[in-house]
Amino acid sequence: MSLAVLKSRALAGMEAPEVSVEVHLANGLPSFTIVGLPETEVKEARDRVRAAIQNGGFEMPAQRITVNLAPADLPKESGRFDLPIALGILAASRQLPSSQLHRYEYAGELSLSGELRPIRGALAMSFAMRRDGAEHAFIVPQANADEAALVAGAAIYPARSLLQVCAHFAALTPDAALQRHQPSLLLAAAEYADFAEVKGQLFAKRALEVAAAGGHSVLLVGSPGTGKTMLASRFAGLLPPMSDEEALESAAVQSLCGRFNPELWKRRPFRAPHHTASGPALVGGGSQPRPGEISLAHCGVLFLDELAEFDRRVLDVLREPMESGRIVISRAARQAEFPARFQLIAAMNPCPCGYLGHASGQCRCSPDTILRYQGRISGPLLDRIDIQLEMAEVEPETLAAPADGDSSAVIAARVEQARLRQLQRQQKSNQQLLPRDIDRHCKPDRAGEHLLRSTMQQFQWSARAYHRVLRVARSVADLDGARTITMAHVGEAIQYRRALRER
């Protein structure tokens, strides 16, 4: 009887727990059994592994083969275990030297010819190895090498086929050994449409600059053609560069869906789901939970156009993640947690016809119809949106005049300086400030405090709205380079919170 044990990784949300692939050969009628809570894709590994071994010139043992994927209570899915299973069979049957197998972890799907196909989650697995302090090297398909090597210090050894991995361990010639991969990313230049192309809407542009500086959520309300989508599509170009840790977290989430493109490394994601999207599409889900749109927008922008056309129950699933920056998906058998620290930019019409308050006077919507339409956005969700703007129509003279506003690059430079002030002062953006942090860093002067209190009483704002106005006022002050929040800063922040009719 022979036994071989290799290491691999499963995926459970953002976690990638270690899995021991135990291969045992015993006398008896030839059979091939995989145990350890395998999904259908893992069970089908029997046929892929058998064909890959035979087409690689090896002998498939005519024995009773048992493969155990431990721990047994952790669900195993996808074809990532093909490579360690095949190597385990070859090692247990003494067709492959096993003295060095323990130094590596393995992941890769095999084709029938023995070629290694890319897998999803390679970066998440490499990230988990660093987090767990694992000292193993990682053998992955060639197509996943750049992705997995983004983790600093990770020892990644790419391979194109099962035969190439076997030659590495057989050490037939020095040239046969796998070489440690050095990422060679050809980063594509970020191409964002320029803010200078937007004519007029100076108030909205200023508000979006404040939002970018502090990481605040924004709701744009206006008639069709006022530039809501145009502004939102350019917003990502104002955001400060991603830190290494932010880029790694964002890329790891993208990797879980197999959508990560190494050329987009350190580019903030921009997600714009259609208004027919379901709740699970936004927050994630499935029998094997996968991230949804809010997690794929982690450290980036989530743009929801035609906000009032979304189902109200779908929109309400955003309430918790907007506060906590994470989403927990619970199923009967398991639970998965994904990061969801996104910046919400939403746009909507003020009424069903879209022309409420328009100079043309086209709107014929009754007050009840308008309130019902605006009521599709629940009060608790609206309360969590820091900046709420009313977009006015642009005059023909403004459209005909040459564009003379600041470019995205100029605005982004001011935003970056404001964000640096926040990181030096409190090590986080203003939007992430907790109530105790607000008491410490967002204390306005006496005139500003009096203005905010009187405004709260007039409009019956909640305690959450009070804190959010102070956060926005702190961002306005940071853009101005001011240490103290003055009445002017508070007044500007208050003006950014009055888009929809008071209900």
pLDDT at 173: 65
Specify whether the backbone of 363 is left (phi greater than 0), alpha (psi in -120 to 50) or beta: beta
pLDDT at 502: 42
pLDDT at 361: 81
Cα(216)–Cα(323) distance, integer angstroms: 12
Instruction: Check the CA dihedral 399-402-403-405 and report its sign.
Output: negative
Nearest Cα neighbor of 249 from 377, 407, 108, 123 is 123
CATH class of the domain whose range is 2-176: alpha beta
pLDDT at 300: 94
Element (H, E) at 343: strand 343-348
In this predicted structure, which of 77-81, 199-203, 256-260, 497-501 has the lowest mean pLDDT? 497-501
3-state secondary structure 155-171: CEEEECEHHHHHHHHHC
Q: How do residues 237-256 score in pLDDT, each as one tens digit?
A: 999 999 888 998 899 999 88
Across 376-400, average pLDDT = 88
- pLDDT reading at 174 higher than 80: no
Q: Predicted confidence band at 499 (pLDDT cuts at 50, 70, 90)?
A: low
Across 427-431, average pLDDT = 93
Across 463-489, b (16+ Cβ under 10 Å) vs e yields eebebbbbbbbbbbbbbeeeeebbbbb
> Where along the chain do its domains lie?
2-176, 195-430
Across 105-124, average pLDDT = 95
Whether the bond into 38 is cis, omega within 30 of 0: no
Q: How do residues 279-313 score in pLDDT, each as one tens digit?
A: 999 998 877 788 999 999 999 999 999 999 999 99
Q: What is the mean pLDDT of the chain?
A: 90
Higher pLDDT, 176 or 272: 272
Across 267-274, average pLDDT = 93
The share of the chain scoring above pLDDT 70, in percent, equals 97
Same-fold call for 2-176 versus 195-430 = no
Across 326-349, average pLDDT = 88
In the 8-state DSSP scheme, what is residue 308?
G
Q: Does domain 195-430 have CATH number 3.40.50.300?
A: yes
**273 backbone dihedrals φ, ψ, rounded to 5°:** -70, 150
Element (H, E) at 367: helix 367-374
**Sequence-separated (6 or more) residues with CB below 8 Å from residue 238:** 195, 208, 209, 212, 408, 411, 412, 415
pTM of structure: 0.88
Across 2-12, average pLDDT = 93
Q: Predicted confidence band at 53 (pLDDT cuts at 50, 70, 90)?
A: very high
In this predicted structure, which of 121-125, 184-188, 261-265 has the lowest mean pLDDT? 184-188
Across 358-381, average pLDDT = 89
Q: Predicted confidence band at 333 (pLDDT cuts at 50, 70, 90)?
A: low
499 contacts 377 by C-beta, under 8 angstroms: no
Across 469-493, average pLDDT = 95
